[in-house]
Amino acid sequence: MKFRFRGNPDKNTRGNIMPLAKLKIGQKVVVTRLNTKDRHRLQKIMAMGILPGKTITLLQKFPSYVFQAGHSQFAVDRELAEAIIVQDSEQGI
Tens of each residue's pLDDT in the chain, 93 residues: 445 555 454 444 456 999 999 999 999 999 999 999 999 999 999 999 999 999 999 999 999 999 999 999 999 999 999 999 999 977 544
Distance from C-alpha of 67 to C-alpha of 59, rounded to nearest angstrom: 5
β-pairing, 84-88 vs 55-60, is: unpaired
Cis peptide before 63 (omega within 30 of 0): yes
Rounded (10°) CA dihedral 41, 43, 49, 55? 30
Global pTM value = 0.81
Distance from C-alpha of 88 to C-alpha of 58, rounded to nearest angstrom: 12
Widest distance between CA atoms in the chain: 35
Q: Report pLDDT for 68.
A: 98
Structural domains in the chain, CATH included, are 17-88 (2.30.30.90)
